[in-house]
Structure formats: structure tokens, C-alpha cells
Structure 1
Amino acid sequence: MTRVKGLKGKESRMRLLTIAADEFANRGFHETKVSTIVTRAGLSQPAFYLYFSSKEAIFDELVNEFRTRLRMLVETSRFTSMVEVQDVPKQLLMTIETIFRFLAATPHLTRIGLFLAPESDQIKEELISLLTDNLRVEQQAGYFRSELEMEIVAECVFGIVERLTLSQLLPGIKEPEGLALQVVNLLLYGMLATEGAITQESEKE
């Protein structure tokens, strides 16, 4: 019997988190009410406080979940020594596409963590720092030009991803694959009409 109660408790807690994420993302923190969350979840208000001490507590948990998961994505995206130089474009494409896929799959968490949370600027600085560390290691391994300042590159890459997430990804205008392709071609090959850019056909090979 305890096992069933435990399972139901986990399901109720997860339902509250899911609905809270939707409310916060669409209404903002101040306009979101605990009463609305519990009504949508089919639970009582006292039940809410079995799992969360306050509205702030459930909001903070959502922010921390987003922060932890995105941080892990960035940390594990560093190129390994097994990557051949000629494979860098496709490896970079896969990395950026993976990040866009995560952001698209968790739209409510993305809105909360990147744009609504009071600590969103801190989260972005943390991610840029991790990205800078990755790029420096990859630069030292000979993958990228030695004269580039990787702090600037990291700021540019993250700025592009952040802006496209808000303007193209979250509204459903573009898919992760298409956005990643545009970003990588711009970063690696620039805007000049030269050969070398990745096409959708070559990316599938």
C-alpha cells in the first residue's frame, strides 16, 4: 500500500511541476497563482504544500532543473580527441542541433530559465563560461584558428542561439535541424559565396 501511495505522490508532484511550468511560462511569476496550479492538477491546495513550501519553491525547482540539464549538455559537448579535423563541421552541427532540440523539447523550462528567472543572466554567464572552456580546449587541439579569442566566440555563439530560440524556435517557425544548419554555416563559412558550406544533402551522408 505504501508503494502505491509513493507512486501516486510522485505522479502528483510531477503533475504540479508540469502545470506550474506552463503557468509560469505563459503568465509570468507574479501572475501565476497556486490556486490555479492545483485546480488544473486536480489537487487540493493543502496537497500542493505537501510537496512545495511555496510558489517560489516550485519556481526555483523548475529553474534549477533547466540549469542543470543545459549545463550537462554543454559540458558533454566538448570535442574528444577522436574527432578528425575534417569532421569538425558535422560534429559542431550535431552539438548545436542537440542544444536546439533540448530547448525545443522543453519550451516552458526554456522560457523560465533563459528569459523569466531573476537569475537568468547568471545562468547565461555560467553557460558562456563553460562554452569558452570547451572552445579553448578545442582550439588548443588544433580544431580552430589560434588567433581567435574564444571568450568572444562563446559570447557570439550563445547570443545567436539565445536570439534564435526566442524568435524562431519557441514560436515554432523553424526546427532545430534547420536552425543548427544556418548557425554552423554562418560560423564556419561566413556570408561570402564560397564553396564548402554544409547542405542538407551532405549532412545526411
Structure 2
Amino acid sequence: MKSKKGRKGEESRKRLLKAAANEFAIRGFHETQVSQIVKRAGLTQPSFYLYFQSKEAIFEELIADFHSRVRKLTESLLLEGGLNTQDVSKRVLSAVETVFQCLAEDKDVTKIGFFLNPEAKQMKKDLAVVLQDNLEAEQRLGYFHSELDMETVAECLIGMIEHLTDSFLLTGIKDPASLAAQVVNLLIYGMLPIERDVR
């Protein structure tokens, strides 16, 4: 069990991370100062340096944690074998909604990790590779058309999630469930009206 001092220290560290995420999201990396972070956290400047060597260090930790969380989530969404068509649609909807929920949990960290991070482009490429691996495995299970190029599908999905997060999720215009429903309706059912068999 942690000592009282240890618990208090962990709480201070969390407050600094939250305050830093908010400052970076509002001001950007270069305009944010340690003095602004500690003021927002209600702590002193010396306390900042107990936990982080520099502004760069806290920024990098926020990005690394975001990348790790999103990557693990993406890896965990692989569909298992034995699902019927209706279950596949429901599971894909649930997976996309889970991604949007993850991105909505801490909008400041999402803004930093997805958009302000100098390595954001590479991070999205890495996520696209993980997603492509999942999609190809699911394609081999017969869940998706065999002629689909899953590299292209993965890049499209990442692009859609990125743009919808920026335009609707971070702004609070739409929630994770409604965004997921639109993405899945488009990808699973397409834009053409369903033709009814009149025989």
C-alpha cells in the first residue's frame, strides 16, 4: 500500500498531466510555459520538476500514453471466428464506437496526440498497419469481400476517424455513438439505397 506521501505525489503528478494537456491543447506546445501548467494545476514550479524534467518531457509522456492506449485498443478489436453476418455488423459498430469513446474521454490529450504531436502522421501510419492486419485477418475469416484492398480500407478508416474527431467529436457537435453509426452505415451498407427483391 502506498504511503500518504506517495498517494499525494501521484495525485500531484496526475494534476500536472491534466493541466499540461489542457494548456498544450489551448496554446500549443511552443506557447505553453511551465508556469502556466503549475498555475492551472494549483501547484508550485519546484513541484513540477519533482515529476518532470522539462516541458518537453511532460508533452512526450502525454503523447506516448495516448499512442500506447490507442494502439492497444486497435489491437484488441480484432473479430474472432464464427460470427454470423448480423453479428459482424454489430461488432464493427461497437468497435468503431469504442474508438470514438476512447478519443472523447480526454479531448485535450486527443488533440495533442492526434493533431499537435509532431509525430502524429507516423503514429497514424502505425495505427493503419495494425488496423490493416486486423482487417486482413477478418477478411480471411470471410467477413469482408475478398477483393477489397485492406491497406486502402485501413487508411480510409484512419482518415475518417481523424477528420470526424476534429470536426465533430472534439467540438462536441456529435457524440461517439452517432459518429460510429454513420461510419459503419457507410462502410457496411454503402450509399446506394437497398434494392428490394420483388419476386
State the alpha-carbon separation in 1 of the partners of residues 161 and 41 from structure 2: 33
* Correspondence for 2:61: 61
* Correspondence for 1:113: 113
* Correspondence for 1:200: none
Q: Structure 1: which 5+ runs fail to align?
A: 197-205
Q: How does 1:149-160 map to 2 (within 5 A)?
A: 149-160=149-160
**Equivalenced residues, count:** 195
Change (3 A) 1:38 1:147: same
State the alpha-carbon separation in 2 of the partners of residues 61 and 195 from structure 1: 51
State the alpha-carbon separation in 2 of the partners of residues 126 and 132 from structure 1: 10
State the alpha-carbon separation in 1 of the partners of residues 133 and 154 from structure 2: 9
Cα distance, 1:194 vs. partner? 1.2
SS at match of 1:118: coil
State the alpha-carbon separation in 2 of the partners of residues 195 and 171 from structure 1: 37
SS at match of 1:36: helix
SS at match of 1:80: coil
Cα distance, 1:195 vs. partner? 6.0
Cα distance, 1:193 vs. partner? 1.4
The residue type equivalent to 1:105 in the other structure is: E
Q: How does 1:147-186 map to 2 (within 5 A)?
A: 147-186=147-186
The residue type equivalent to 1:115 in the other structure is: F
* Correspondence for 2:87: 87
1:11 matched to 2:11: yes
* Correspondence for 1:199: none
Q: How does 1:16-95 map to 2 (within 5 A)?
A: 16-95=16-95
Q: Structure 2: which 5+ runs fail to align?
A: none
* Correspondence for 2:101: 101
Q: C-alpha deviations, 1:119-143, integer Å up to 9, x for none? A: 1011100100000000000000100
The residue type equivalent to 2:47 in the other structure is: A
Tell which deviates more after alignment, 34-43 or 166-175. 34-43
State the alpha-carbon separation in 1 of the partners of residues 22 and 63 from structure 2: 13
4+ long deviations beyond 4 Å: none
Identity of aligned residues (%): 57
* Correspondence for 1:139: 139
TM-score, normalized by length of structure 1? 0.92
